[in-house]
A and B are shown apart, each in its own frame.
Chain A
Amino acid sequence: MVDVRSGIGEALPPPEVEDVELYHPHSWWTRYVFSQDAKIIAIQYGTTAIAIGMVALVLSWLIRLQLGFPGTFELIDAERYYQFITMHGMIMVIYLLTALFLGGFGNYLIPLMVGARDMVFPYANMLSYWIYLLAVIVLAASFFTPGGPTGAGWTLYPPQAVLSGTPGGRDWGIIMMLSSLIIFVIGFTMGGLNYVVTVLQGRARGMTLMRLPLTVWGIFTATVMALLAFPALFVACVMMLFDRLLGTSFFMPAIVEMGEQLQYGGGSPILFQHLFWFFGHPEVYIVALPAFGIVSDLISTHARKNIFGYRMMVWAIVIIGGLSFIVWAHHMYVSGMNPYFGFFFATTTLIIAVPTAIKVYNWVLTLWRGNIHLTLPMLFALAFIVTFVNGGLTGLFLGNVVVDVPLSDTMFVVAHFHMVMGVAPIMVIFGAIYHWYPKITGRMLNEAMGQIHFWVTFIGAYAIFFPMHYLGLIGVPRRYHELGEASFVTTSIAELNAFISVMALLVGAAQIVFLFNLAWSLRHGREAGGNPWRATTLEWQTPETPPPHGNWGNELPVVYRWAYDYSVPGAPEDFIPQNQPTPGRLSHETVS
């Protein structure tokens, strides 16, 4: 048994973390535009990601208009439809979710939560954002090139991605897409090195790994995974660019396209799929793990209770991160790869369900006997659990190789991944923005607008994607511009599709309320004070709100306890900040 009081009143050890020399901005430009302050970079990342995300949102409306009311909108022909779904998918997965979780929340929260003044390599951090912005611009520019953006689907499978039957295949579209991804990976690597090394080396005195908030654990693990997985995307994109521009045959077999013999030969489309999914599957967890981490902190703070089974939560994050590298081929059960791989990948995939389920149990067990404040962050956290459990469980269908055979490439897959890595993480993003907006701006977001936003988004999103699974079960394939007449559709599904589309338009409209709220509250929101949620973690303990460059004033914080000292028996308040030495913790031995 460790003596819990041993830490109290002991002499301070010499500072182990050197106070870093901060870059001092000299002008408005270097302070707010070419800023090296992680918090400014975070806001830049966040606004860029949300801006390009709005493009993807509009594209989703157009997609749903076509699916819900086929033939009504002349504008959305097959070619445009495929361009829309491709750009929607790629933007959402890479340029919104990855960039917002790691570039946005990672930059803002890591230095503050570990008690550092800034990231360890601020210059590389700044470059990371500008390179990301370049990637976004190249991507967006492809809308204006002759032939338009690529319509190969977000998976960009060759050979079709670079052939004339696909929109943008022999034009600029695919070239711009591949270039943009290559640029993104370079930019991300610069940022990613920062996030990892800051967590490793930038932690304040007393901040052991087991005292890190789960948010930091989630972002840290996701970044490590991203650093190892993105090279696969990089290699795949470079090789496909060679195939497209220089006539190599990495992925291109002998092809007769529309009766015309192409000069390619011998290449393997499956090789691309292996490389793509070697990146693509970890990518799912690159988005999910930060969400796991953040939602743990939201639930704990707003239920005024420590996160249940913290150690288990940490182990689960690490185990999920590791396992996610050996499951990639479950996206390829019907790709024509050696069918015997199915046994291995189905087993590893279903094993991942166990640590993931443990995380879910621990979230709901944190609610048990809590003191649940139904604030907006808490509501979004509850919505996350519902949608994540739903989407995670349908993953057990698709991961189980034989069940995947009828369901793969149907709307079931679309419903599954939207629920699990679209809706669920975005619920966390909203919750996190409602939670940390007061720290970023000093003001609270408007509650009434927030309630409207929450209810429409949550119920609407569930109503979109839950019934969609059943379309897939009937056998409706995904990526169909128009299903038309089909003999296997025994019941009319047109009404269901129309209903889903109406819901999608509604949910999209609710996001406008959210954006308005973000802008409105900047001026008119209620003053928040330094720690409006009465939270324990370090970012709420800064001397000033919003924290200035350097975060901590003259003295770095010293950490005395873990991140979850809520409702500790005997303490005067229902929370004890991590940097508070004297507690009033009397009855510890009895509760453990």
Chain B
Amino acid sequence: MAVVVILVLLAVGSVLFHLLSPWWWTPIASNWNYIDNTITITFWITGIAFTAVVLFMAYCVLRFRHRPGNTAAYEPENRRLEGWLATGTTFGVAAMLAPGLFVWNQFVTVPQDASEVEVIGQQWLWSFRLPGADGKLGTTETRDIAPENSLGVNRDDAAGQDDIIIEGGELHLPVGKPVKMLLRSVDVLHDFYVPEFRAKMDMVPGMITYFWLTPTRTGTFEILCAELCGVGHPQMRGTVVVDTEEDYQAWLAEQQTFSQLSASSETRAIPGRVCSGSPSGIATEQGTGAFALFEEERKCFGPAATTVAASAAQ
């Protein structure tokens, strides 16, 4: 009998926990409330199914538990009942899948007028790049990454010269405008995740991934990494600020472009650290030759590596 009580308590308790507990999703700040709606539909359907099955089991145990003289019925199958149950389940599944696919179609269709923002992940730091006055992001190459060009912007690409570089700082987005987040990583897998935006996507070294959203309310939100990226994974935090248009323009005006940053880094000559060979020379991958080059690079970048590690460890 204890089983019956526990099963009923479990079903009822789960529903009550769902309804009464304070643990619920954080208020949304993007256009993806469709996702929240799909979750709500799914909660309804699955909740009903779960409670029904558990309560039915509890009833069976109560009613058909063994008592002296009881015998079980003999019923190998009941095609009609099974048919009805299968059909009902199919409808339930379709009721969850159809809105899901509908919303997914929106999720993968980026609006024409979406502006582009690039997010760069590295262990364990977020950086950002915005297209400059020309509205275009320049191309990048992981092999071009060097202490004075930490995001690997292609120097020969004119479109990249006016790109705005934000290294390890805050990202600002204007409210109400669709934005396509282009995601890139220079070392390992990361995942750009802002709980209030609902959307997330992995960042994969060697390729550019994306998703889009429209911020719907101003505020300051936390960026988390949602793909285990090494021991610093939980510390890999960033900030995204959703601004009104005026605030956004004011912030934008303060940022430095790639060419400005390059110019200032050239004047800052560092004595005692002369590196032979250009950083992109590594692009050759043939056998032992590459390894020697690689060793050279390691010596060259040694101090920089420790600085990055130290800043990330903070």
Contact = CB atoms under 8 A, between A and B. Distances in A.
**Do A and B touch, yes or no (CB under 8 Å, in the complex)?**
yes
Interface of A: 78-79, 82, 151-153, 157, 159-160, 163, 165-167, 169, 247, 249, 253-263, 265-270, 303-306, 308-312, 334-336, 339-340, 342-343, 346-347, 350-351, 353-354, 357-358, 360-362, 364-365, 367-374, 379, 382, 385-386, 389-390, 393-394, 396-397, 400-403, 405-410, 458-459, 462, 466-467, 470-471, 473-475, 477, 479-484, 486-491, 493, 496, 564, 566-569, 574, 591-592
Contacts of B159: none
Contact of A405 (B61, B196, B199): B199
A585 B48 CA distance: 41
Contacts of A350: 93, 96-97
A488 B65 CA distance: 48
B222 A487 contact: yes
Given A165-B187, A255-B187, A358 B89 contact: yes
Contact of B123 (A257, A340, A357, A566): A257
A33 B119 CA distance: 58
B171 interface: no
A367 B57 contact: yes
Interface in B199-225: 199-207, 209, 220-222, 224-225
Contact of A410 (B53, B226, B297): B226
Given A334-B202, A496-B23, A259 B301 contact: yes
Nearest to A304: B72
Contacts of A336: 183, 201-204, 207, 209
Contacts, number: 364
Sorted nearest first, the 5 A-B pairs with minimum C-beta distance are: A253-B206, A165-B230, A475-B195, A336-B209, A393-B46
Contact of A269 (B32, B107, B189): B189
Nearest to B209: A336
Interface string B67-94: 0001111111110011001100110010
Given A306-B74, A382-B57, A373 B66 contact: yes
24 contacts: A163-B188, A163-B230, A165-B187, A259-B150, A260-B302, A261-B301, A266-B285, A268-B207, A269-B189, A306-B74, A308-B78, A336-B204, A343-B101, A346-B104, A362-B82, A368-B60, A409-B193, A481-B233, A488-B196, A490-B27, A564-B76, A566-B72, A569-B74, A591-B75
B10 A462 contact: yes
B221 A488 contact: yes
Nearest to A340: B108
Given A166-B231, A405-B198, A409-B227, A263 B189 contact: no
Nearest to A373: B66
Given A361-B85, A396-B93, A406-B32, 13 more contacts: A165-B188, A259-B304, A269-B205, A305-B72, A308-B76, A336-B201, A350-B93, A357-B49, A372-B65, A386-B54, A390-B14, A396-B96, A405-B107
B187 A353 contact: no
Given A257-B187, A471-B23, A368 B89 contact: no
B188 A369 contact: no
Given A258-B123, A371-B71, A477-B193, A78 B234 contact: yes
Interface residues of B, number: 117
A474 B100 contact: no
A357 to B, nearest CB: 4
A370 B108 contact: no
A351 B101 CA distance: 14
A482 B234 contact: yes
B86 A358 contact: yes
Contact of A474 (B54, B70, B195, B306): B195
Given A257-B123, A263-B294, A406 B66 contact: no
A269 B206 contact: yes
Nearest to A306: B76
Nearest to A307: B76
B72 A567 contact: yes
A362 B207 CA distance: 47
A482 to B, nearest CB: 6
B77 A311 contact: yes
B305 A260 contact: yes
Contacts of A163: 187-188, 230
Contacts of B39: 397, 403, 406-407
B12 interface: no
A160 B25 contact: no
Contacts of A334: 191, 200-202
B309 A258 contact: yes
Interface stretch (B140-148, B173-181, B258-266): B140-148
A166 B147 CA distance: 23
B290 interface: yes
Given A396-B42, A402-B103, A346 B97 contact: yes
B57 A364 contact: yes
B72 A488 contact: no
A196 B27 CA distance: 53
B252 interface: no
B3 interface: yes
B49 A393 contact: yes
A350 B204 CA distance: 27
Nearest to B54: A386
Interface string B16-36: 010001111111000010110
